[in-house]
């Protein structure tokens, strides 16, 4: 796991865009897209590069991490809609090649298996963007999730529903259930890129990167992965015991070694 500590949100976004852009430039990239506030700056930077002719997404495809159960696709807060308004509509990525779990599926339990099969059939995700919740969740894998879990239905905690209420008319409008890629599914991506901003994420980042591997902090499953880059700002890094070493290692990184 490589911890990259940047001065501010802009530098975080630039670093993440450099990583994702590298995969896009190779052609036929399979991107794993996350919603939420953490990746917004990175999406804006990727869109700028596309708009200015630096990146071409025309051969890329994408899979989303999760979707609310029972929320229509055209609802403004469905992740199907959100990822299009925040990212896909601003780059030349074919919207029909951006797939998400179907929260309206008649067989919700079977939808998880279908989605995992679709990812596998595409050849797997090359680079997966991730945010992290204040309780250490990634995707909607709440604390207590099995570290080898697959895409499935999860019940949101009340805290997560309260955190997401700002996007709805009120907490009562936030669905209780979601379809989310499991921790085992997420860990099959070739490269995990976690983004965290602000002091409110500092405890979660410290637990994920330096704490024990535990279902109590779902993001700690990244410690098992062969290729992880955690890109955070100074406030989000404030609880890391080895922050000085991470900065030293980055400053002395071999010129040939990429993220």
Residue 203 bears catalytic tag: no
Residue 94 annotated among the catalytic residues of the structure? no
Task: Measure the CA–CA gap between 100 and 181, rounded to whole angstroms.
Answer: 10
Q: Which of 9, 45, 111, 135 is catalytic?
A: 135
Rg value, the chain, Cα: 17
- Catalytic one among 9, 45, 66, 86? 66
Nearest to 204 by CA among 160, 244, 167, 253: 160
69 Cβ contact list (under 8 Å, min separation 6): 103, 108, 153, 175, 177, 178, 179
169 is known as an active-site residue: no
CA dihedral angle for residue 91, residue 94, residue 96, residue 97, rounded to 10 degrees: -90
Catalytic annotation, pick one of 67, 137, 191, 233:
137
Q: Which one is catalytic: 9, 67, 142, 233?
A: 142
- DSSP E strands in the chain: the ranges are 2-6, 30-33, 61-64, 66-68, 98-99, 127-130, 152-155, 177-180, 191-196, 228-233
Is 135 an annotated catalytic residue? yes
- Tell me the catalytic residues: 66, 135, 137, 142
């Amino acid at each position: 796991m490589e911890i990259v500590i940047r001065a501010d949100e802009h530098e975080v976004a630039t670093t993440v865009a450099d990583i994702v852009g590298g995969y896009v430039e190779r052609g036929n990239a399979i991107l794993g897209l996350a919603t939420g506030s953490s990746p917004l700056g990175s999406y804006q930077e990727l869109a700028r590069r596309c708009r200015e002719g630096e990146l071409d997404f025309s051969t890329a495809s994408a899979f989303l991490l999760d979707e609310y159960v029972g929320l229509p696709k055209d609802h403004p807060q469905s992740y199907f809609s959100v990822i299009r308004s925040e990212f896909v509509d601003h780059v030349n990525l074919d919207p029909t090649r951006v797939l998400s779990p179907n929260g309206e599926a008649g067989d919700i339990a079977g939808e998880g298996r279908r989605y995992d099969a679709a990812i596998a059939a595409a050849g797997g995700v090359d680079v997966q963007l991730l945010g992290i919740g204040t309780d250490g969740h990634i995707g909607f894998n709440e604390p207590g999730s099995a570290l080898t879990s697959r895409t499935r239905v999860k019940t949101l905690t009340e805290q997560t529903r309260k955190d997401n209420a700002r996007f709805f008319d009120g907490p009562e409008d936030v669905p209780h259930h979601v379809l989310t890629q499991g921790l085992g599914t997420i860990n099959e991506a070739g490269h995990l890129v976690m983004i965290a901003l602000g002091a409110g994420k500092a405890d979660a980042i410290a637990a994920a990167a330096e704490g024990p591997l535990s279902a109590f902090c779902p993001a700690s499953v990244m410690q098992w992965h062969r290729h992880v880059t955690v890109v955070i700002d100074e406030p989000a890094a404030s609880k890391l015991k080895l922050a000085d070493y991470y900065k030293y290692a980055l400053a002395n990184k071999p010129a040939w070694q990429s993220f």
